[in-house]
Chains A and B, each alone.
Chain A
Amino acid sequence: MKYNILVKRKGIAMQIIIVGCGTVGRALMAQLSIEDNNITVVDVNADMIKNVANLYDVMGIVGNGTSYHVLADANIEHADILIAVTHSDEVNLLCCVVAKKAANCHTIARIRNPVYSEEREFIRRELGLSMTINPEYAAAQEIARLLKFPSAIDIDSFSKGRIELLRFKVPKNSMLIGKALKNLPRQIQLDILVCAVERNNKVFIPDGDFWIQTGDILSIIAVPENANLFFRKIGIRINQVKNALIFGGSEITYYLTVILLSMGVQVKIIEQNRNRCEELSELLPKATIICGDGNEQNLLNEEHLEQMDAMVASTDMDEKNIILSLYAQGKVKSKIITQINHLDFNDVIHNLNLDSLIYPKNITAEYILQYVRAMKNSIGSNVERLYKLMDGRVEALEFIINPLSGLIGIKLQDMKLKSNLLIAGIGRKGKFIIPGGQDEFQSGDSIIVVTTNSGFQDIYDILKK
């Protein structure tokens, strides 16, 4: 944890080495450098390094990350964590092993080859890695989660899964429209809390007088059983999908199919390449594999798109995915998922009103970020856990109240809280409370705070200064 004598370790800046500056590497750099970490980037490609050094406040080193000398140049002996995200699994693994031997720092490797993936646990343990991540598998898991709960756009869980944060779009003719938030829990007689609203691309932390409109995207916080009840009460179907059509036979498709089949979902895969089709049919005997081009409208009709509960557009070409999803709108019954691999024009894509979007690179980055943040928090601040929601525009933080905290015993309505901030939940002795004005903090509570501000270090930061 020491750094050199000249730069005092202010707060919780971590020394991070990122090997490989592909898409995931860059997503990590962008986020981690904003979060005040000292980042050194290693890549063999000098142009890449130059590019990156101009974009982010990081130090670039040209060289092979598996070489001890290069890592020494990157100041490995003072690094807290090394993240290897080059395109090669073997390079990533070797990087981590070298770093571990050289500095005993935390190491994270991206490993995507299915052969290794099955041995992830063994590799992780025996080679001393802190974490391995398979981007395709992670993306597949995320997609599967969405298909399980088709009404939600996004689902995050807190407090070890005791609480869920669900993001969904208010449909037309919903009973919610025109209701004020303060009346909502009484009317539906359920303990749920709306903690963020997106309207016209802006995020609000609403207060009680907020009125729900058509097209709002609400984020609600609730215990999982209540979430189900809530959706039933407001008339949104919550059943998991029964069948799914997947375009493209990528690795994600493979993992997704495995998960979906185990959930009892019927899967149909459309893939262009005949060889890949045969491979898939060997690997996935229970799935229906169709060799054909998703671009042909005929084929879609032939395969009865309109009878499908869900469609996942997961080909390598983002443009094709988007077109397919647009075509499927109104035809597919409950869920359309569009995979975006490379495209950068977020605003344009959002305006197309596609149902759910999946960015595999962001998912990988997000997983790694969560690990880094958790590690960082255990070093410095009192934040137990930190989630970035809605492209980082909202943060949800979890604090633990220690027995000496000055906030114990003060009613929430008497606290002068910052604006754009909401105390979304109190976890107490395994139970979860949606707090009201009369509630108080108690020692050992875990508090969930949702806010559009950032940089909170301590529970006291929620108060107005």
Chain B
Amino acid sequence: MNYEMIRYIVAWVLKIEGAMLSLPCIIGLIYQEKEGNSYWIWMVVCLVIGFLGSVKKPKNTEIYQKDGFVSVAISWCLMSLFGAIPFIMTREIPLAIDALFEIVSGLTTTGASILSNVEVLSHTNLFWRSFSHWIGGMGVLVFILMLLPVKNGSQINLMRAESPGPSVTKFVPRIRNTAILLYKIYMVITIVQIILLRLTGMQWFDSMCISFGTAGTGGFGILNNSCANYTPIQQWLITIFMILYGINFSFYYLILCNKKKTAFKMEEVRAYFLIIVVAIGIITWNIGSMYLSFSEAFRHASFQVGSIITTTGFSTTDFNLWPEFSKYILVLLMFIGACAGSTGGGIKVSRILILMKTIGKELQTIVHPRSIKKIRMDGHSIEDDMIYSIIMFFITYIVIFAISVLIISLNDFSLETNFTAVAATINNIGPGMDCVGPMSNYAAYGGVSKAVLIFDMLVGRLEIFPILILFCPFTWKKKG
């Protein structure tokens, strides 16, 4: 394994994190909060460690798949550890496991919180919490690929390990340019949202935090009841942007290249919208009697569907009180998740599509045992090893899911709570049902359960294998 290169990449990650920490520092200055001081100190520490670690450029810059996975996993773990320290230093989240839970929840864009009262936090901490969504949404390593002074095709292995979805698509030949494009699209949408929210009368600070939460499909609110206090127009705006971030970013690239036809023909995007429309329709009908007017029911249904399928996790109403049918639809949406190549989590629409098509193919081979049929998506046939890896992903996902539920059951909550708690963390959503519903939080879980949920969040964000590989003994063997 190329330890030199892993060290170099991880050092770069810390450097970037140090640079990112400067933003909450500025917020601290603006609001004249003493919490800002801790951030200043910690920023310097991160930068110093980062610079020291990346002074020596490794000779061999080759990153094989294993190196890519390992460096991404280590980067995320270290980034979480370093990101949690300011919470502890400012004493606003004094317990280490809680601070770690909060920052992992932020970076993995989950949005699950252990805080029962968010409103007492200082602006600095609130900002860092929400901003971590933005950092984690597109990914730090993708950010680094824009800056890393290494010319080597094997960097694609970093992107492959960090980007969600069954395969990585390069928009343009160079990885660096692809990363720049991704971040440009990401930043533009974020800025547009901030400005639009400001125009509807939201404060700059609120609109920034909410926009970061939407951009990374995270879901940390800055009010205790998430988005329930915002005006209907603001809620609609948030709904639309949530759904936009859940779309595969290739879609935006195609539109920018003036290939609208190809863009709207993307099967994944079509399926994604179809699921959203159907889910909103059914839920609106199902919950209609609970609200005063149709428009209110429609708004709440749209917001919750958009929030859950993109794995954001904002809420405008306590969907815990909804009829079982609607609740179950939301749970289903949790698993489907957003499109591949978006900032959202979950299993991803494209994987579900391919799985469904595989089932269809399987049925056909039973009827016509000698038939040969290739599974196609967007007009291209899909290779067998891709299908195999998707199925493997699915199986591993279920195994981890089952074990996680088993362990956290020790805390003696209801099955619904435990099941949705794991579903909401492994799919990077945030709120589950029952005791972890949108109006409650994860504070009640014990230390072990929180550790398991932290693991689930990382596993969900990095799509399982990078994290699992860290625990494989043969990864670390010298002669492997």
Chain A residues close to B by CB (< 8 Å): 4-7, 13, 15, 33-34, 36, 38-40, 46, 53-59, 62
Contacts and interface: CB of A to CB of B under 8 A. Distances in A.
A15 B176 CA distance: 15
Contact of B180 (A7, A55, A62): A7
B180 A53 contact: no
Contact of A7 (B153, B155, B181, B380): B181
Given A7-B172, A7-B181, A40-B173, A53 B256 contact: no
A13 B173 CA distance: 11
A58 B173 contact: yes
Given A6-B181, A7-B181, A33-B151, A57 B256 contact: no
B152 A57 contact: yes
B386 to A, nearest CB: 10
A54 B157 contact: yes
Contact of B156 (A7, A40, A54): A54
B153 A53 contact: yes
B308 interface: no
B34 to A, nearest CB: 42
Contact of B173 (A4, A6, A59, A62): A59
Kindly list the 7 A-B residue pairs having the minimum CB-CB distance in the complex, ordered from nearest.
Answer: A56-B153, A59-B173, A38-B173, A57-B153, A59-B170, A7-B177, A39-B173
Contact of A38 (B152, B174, B380): B174
Contacts, number: 50
Contacts of A58: 153, 173
Nearest to B379: A69
B55 interface: no
A55 B61 CA distance: 12
Contacts of B383: 46
A62 B380 CA distance: 10
Contacts of B173: 15, 38-40, 57-59
A15 B172 CA distance: 10
B172 A38 contact: yes
Interface of B: 151-157, 170, 172-177, 180-181, 184, 253, 256-257, 380, 383
B39 to A, nearest CB: 33
Contacts of A5: 256
A57 B151 contact: yes
A103 to B, nearest CB: 15
A59 B172 contact: yes
A53 B175 CA distance: 11
Q: Does more than half of chain B's interface fall in helix, strand or loop, or is it mixed?
A: helix
- Which of B156, B157, B172, B253 has the most chain A CB atoms closer than 10 A to its own CB? B172
B174 A57 contact: yes
Contacts of A34: 151
Given A57-B175, A62-B380, 7 more contacts: A4-B256, A5-B256, A7-B172, A7-B180, A13-B174, A38-B172, A56-B153
- Which of A46, A57, A62 has the most chain B CB atoms closer than 10 A to its own CB? A57
Nearest to A29: B153
Nearest to A74: B173
A46 B167 CA distance: 14
A442 B337 CA distance: 68
Contacts of B154: 54-55
A59 B172 CA distance: 7
A436 B154 CA distance: 45
B31 to A, nearest CB: 36
Contacts of A62: 380
A21 to B, nearest CB: 13
A46 B174 CA distance: 19
Contacts of B184: 6
A54 B173 CA distance: 12
10 contacts: A6-B184, A7-B181, A36-B151, A38-B173, A40-B173, A54-B153, A54-B154, A55-B154, A57-B155, A59-B170
A326 to B, nearest CB: 32
B156 A53 contact: yes
A6 B174 CA distance: 13
Nearest to B259: A72
Contacts of B156: 53-54, 57
A53 B167 CA distance: 13
A55 B257 CA distance: 27
Contacts of A38: 172-174, 177
Contacts of A56: 153
Nearest to B184: A6
B130 to A, nearest CB: 27
Nearest to A17: B173
Contacts of B257: 4
Contact of B153 (A13, A40, A46, A55): A55
Contacts of A13: 174
Contacts of A36: 151
A33 B256 contact: no
Nearest to B150: A57
Nearest to B252: A6
Contacts of B256: 4-6
A59 B250 CA distance: 15
A49 to B, nearest CB: 11
Contacts of B151: 33-34, 36, 57
Contacts of B176: 57
A164 B153 CA distance: 36
A242 B152 CA distance: 47
Contacts of A33: 151, 153
A59 B176 CA distance: 12
Contacts of B172: 4, 7, 38, 59
Nearest to B175: A57
B173 to A, nearest CB: 4
A321 to B, nearest CB: 30
A36 B151 CA distance: 9
Nearest to A63: B380
A184 to B, nearest CB: 36
A7 B175 CA distance: 12
A55 B65 CA distance: 11
- Which of A5, A13, A39, A59 has the most chain B CB atoms closer than 10 A to its own CB? A59
Contacts of A4: 172, 256-257
Contacts of A6: 180-181, 184, 253, 256
Contacts of B175: 57
A183 to B, nearest CB: 38
A7 B172 CA distance: 9
A248 B363 CA distance: 57
- Which of B156, B173, B175 has the most chain A CB atoms closer than 10 A to its own CB? B173
B377 to A, nearest CB: 14
Contacts of A55: 153-154
A33 B175 CA distance: 11
Contacts of A15: 173
Contacts of B177: 7, 38
A77 to B, nearest CB: 10
A146 to B, nearest CB: 33
Contacts of A53: 153, 156
Nearest to B181: A6
